[in-house]
Amino acid sequence: MYGGIRGGVSGMRVILVWPAGMRGGDWMLFPLGYGFLRNAVPCDIVDSSLADLDNDRLAERCRGYDVVGISVWGINIAPVEDLIARIRANSDSIIIAGGPAAGQVDADYALVGEAETRFAALIAALASGDENALAAIEGLGIRGRVKALMPRTHTADLDSLGSVDYDALKLGAYIAHGYKYWMYSLKDKAPTGPIMATRGCPYHCNFCAGPKLQGTKLRKHSIGYILDAIETLYDKHGIRQISFLDDNLTLDARWAKELCEAIVALKQRRRMEFVCTTSNGVRYKTLDKELLLLMRRAGWGEIVLAPESGSLRTLERMCKQLDLDMISRKVDLIHQCGLNAVGFFMAGYPGEEPQDLDDTRDYIRNSRFDRAIVNLFNPIPGTPVYEELVASGEIQPRPVRLNYSRVEDLQYVTPGLSREKLAAFQADVEPKSRFREMWMKDLPAAA
Ligand code: B12
Ligand code: SF4
């Protein structure tokens, strides 16, 4: 286990709640970020979806704490607003919002983006009542006074943030509640354990908040740290699917090869059997035959790529910086290495017209992806495209529920299209998006 920064004993009683909205019909989000925050500040953690607490009972549960921390994503803004009102009606706890959409709710303080060090500094400043220390916290939002901003500095040494204590986060309870997915081409899903091995992304896709939240420099945990987490998940929690949550695990190909080699060696030495996934996708450019074969040997069964569109016009506006022909060649290479290829696509990007949707549909049909996953565009606060749409008056900067699959939930529909056209596109493309039912267990054994 790796230690972690400690905010010291502040005397503050702190609770982190994982509020409503982090669980849907067939999915649930695991509070990995809380695993790091609790290394920085001693605190209790309560997940409303595990404990089956409605907002009234959750607010009651927070009573007696000096500080209540709440994670806000675009998907749970309304329930968080409701929770904040109930906590305020019940107690005078200080409410701190964190997470990607923290700036969108009416908390006392807000920290958007990576927060371990700033959270420890905030609790210390609140405990001491030192206004100067409060003012020195980068990007801190203060209710009615200062808007929360994305941090520009990020922790360079990720290992210094400490190991995630999966026991304390009750990983077993998540698995019992069905937390076991995000591998698209595997039929029988194994118990899943999440790891974030790197943070940061140097690309600037206009629709994505990743680089803003975690910076544009790729930072990596040490390979020893990652193996340690894998062994803990395997031995203590019976995990057989290691789910890398990274934005871009393979961006530094040399390091990714070393990581795969280390996983292969670990598996051989300890006779372990597990699969690995990178379900958020990887950039195609650094994938070569050597890396893909190593990934296959380490336990990958599929590689997810994100072309996003078959329209060159749209790709340009997205600032995706990708070459569709090269993606097609990479898909072939992925297959040659005995892996499935999954593609992420998006429809309804600002400025799109029916021709762009046709281009995307044709690209998907002509591609050799084993499966295509099509989402609808919905603007995410904090991203360049969101700011552009607000500036042009096309959307109002008000909290909305992020949803990428239901046309009726879209905050924005580009003028060249309509909800009907997007629904027709979904109906046309989605049912045909599994081209090859080539499931993991049918793959040839790794070389
Ligand atoms: C992994 C991931 C997922 C995983 C989640 C796995 C899990 N945890 O169970 C999966 C794939 C399931 C997922 C799903 C979705 N995701 Co996602 N996801 C990410 C990703 C890549 C990393 C998040 C993560 O786990 N980070 C690791 C931990 C350590 O960091 P963290 O959770 O962010 O927590 C840190 C800070 O945010 C902060 N913090 C968080 N909470 C709190 C609370 C307090 C009180 C404090 C002080 C601080 C704090 O401190 C933590 C430590 O630094 C981010 C992009 C990114 N690079 O951040 C997108 C991201 C968070 N996802 C995003 C979105 C939109 C989604 C979806 C809604 C997309 C969809 N297709 O529907 C879904 C939601 C589920 C659903 N089906 O509806 C957006 C969020 C934008 C927004 N404003 O809300 C992001 C930013 C990507 C993007 N497109 O820009 N996602
Ligand atoms: S979509 Fe992927 S590559 Fe583009 S900025 Fe976000 S994390 Fe980086």
User: Taking each helix axis from N to C terminus, what angle separates 253-270 and 223-237, rounded to the nearest 10 degrees?
Assistant: 40
pLDDT of residue 234: 97
DSSP secondary structure, 219-274, as one string:
EE--HHHHHHHHHHHHHHH---EEEE--S-TTSSHHHHHHHHHHHHHHHHHHT---
- Position 25 pLDDT exceeds 80: no
Name which of 20-29, 380-389, 407-416 the model is least confident about.
Answer: 20-29
pLDDT of residue 447: 41
- Position 8 pLDDT exceeds 60: no
pLDDT of residue 355: 98
Residues of the chain with CATH 3.20.20.70: 180-442
DSSP secondary structure, 134-174, as one string:
HHTSTT-EETTTB-----S---S-GGGG----TTTTTHHHH
Phi, psi of 94 (to 5 degrees): -80, 130
In angstroms, the first-to-last Cα distance of the chain is 33
Residues 6 or more apart whose CB falls under 8 angstroms from that of 177 comprise 23, 28, 49, 50
Model confidence at 443, pLDDT cuts 50, 70, 90, reads very low
Query: Which residue, judged by its Cα, is nearest atom 3 of ligand 2?
Result: 203
Which ligand ends up closest to the CA of 374?
A: 1
DSSP secondary structure, 309-359, as one string:
-S-HHHHHHHT----HHHHHHHHHHHHHTT-EEEEEEEE--TT--HHHHHH
- Position 3 pLDDT exceeds 70: no
Residue 411 DSSP class: S
Helix (H) or strand (E) segment spanning residue 45? strand 44-47
Quickly count: other Cβ atoms within 10 Å of residue 188's Cβ: 7
Pick the residue with more confidence: 93 or 429? 93
Whether the CB-CB separation of 103 and 140 falls below 8 Å is answered with: no
User: What distance in Å separates the CA atoms of residue 27 and residue 249, rounded to the nearest whole number?
Assistant: 23
Round the average pLDDT of the chain to a whole number and report it: 91
Among the listed residues 121, 124, 125, 62, the one whose alpha carbon sits nearest the alpha carbon of residue 95: 62
- Position 131 pLDDT exceeds 80: yes
Q: Name the residue of 402, 409, 411, 430 whose CB sits within 8 Å of the most ligand 1 atoms, as the mutation to test its pocket.
A: 402
Q: Name the residue of 226, 280, 282, 404 whose CB sits within 8 Å of the most ligand 1 atoms, as the mutation to test its pocket.
A: 280
Average pLDDT over residues 117-145: 96
pLDDT of residue 74: 83
Gap from CA of 50 to ligand 2 centroid (Å): 31
pLDDT of residue 11: 87
pLDDT of residue 307: 97
Residues of the chain above pLDDT 90, percent:
77
Find the angle CA(225)-CA(227)-CA(229) to the nearest 5 degrees.
70
Average pLDDT over residues 30-58: 94
Helix (H) or strand (E) segment spanning residue 59? helix 55-62
Gap from CA of 325 to ligand 1 centroid (Å): 31
Which atom, in ligand 2's list, is nearest to the CA of 202?
Answer: 8
pLDDT of residue 6: 57
Among the listed residues 259, 200, 254, the one whose alpha carbon sits nearest the alpha carbon of residue 228: 259
Please give all residues whose beta carbon lies within 6 A of any atom in ligand 1, as ranges. 16, 24, 27, 29-30, 32-33, 36-37, 69-71, 73-75, 96, 98-101, 111, 114-116, 119, 182, 194, 196, 208-210, 213-214, 245, 247, 279-280, 375, 380-381, 402, 404
Pick the residue with more confidence: 242 or 22? 242
**Residues in the chain, overall count:** 447
Q: State the Cα torsion 288-333-276-304 to the nearest 10°.
A: 100
Name which of 20-29, 215-224, 421-430 the model is least confident about.
Answer: 20-29
Average pLDDT over residues 76-90: 94
Name which of 20-24, 29-33, 336-340 the model is least confident about.
Answer: 20-24
Model confidence at 414, pLDDT cuts 50, 70, 90, reads very high
- Position 442 pLDDT exceeds 70: no
Whether the CB-CB separation of 275 and 241 falls below 8 Å is answered with: yes
Q: State the Cα torsion 59-60-64-69 to the nearest 10°.
A: -20
pLDDT of residue 90: 82
Gap from CA of 446 to ligand 1 centroid (Å): 32
User: What distance in Å separates the CA atoms of residue 31 and residue 33, rounded to the nearest whole number?
Assistant: 5
Question: 180-442 has which CATH code?
Answer: 3.20.20.70
pLDDT of residue 59: 97
Question: 14-142 has which CATH code?
Answer: 3.40.50.2300
pLDDT, tens only, 210-260: 999 999 999 999 999 999 999 999 999 999 999 999 999 999 999 999 999
Bridge partners (DSSP) of residue 220 are 198
pLDDT, tens only, 324-371: 999 999 999 999 999 999 999 999 999 999 999 999 999 998 888 988
- Position 32 pLDDT exceeds 80: yes
Among the listed residues 278, 282, 284, 347, the one whose alpha carbon sits nearest the alpha carbon of residue 310: 347
Residues of the chain with CATH 3.40.50.2300: 14-142
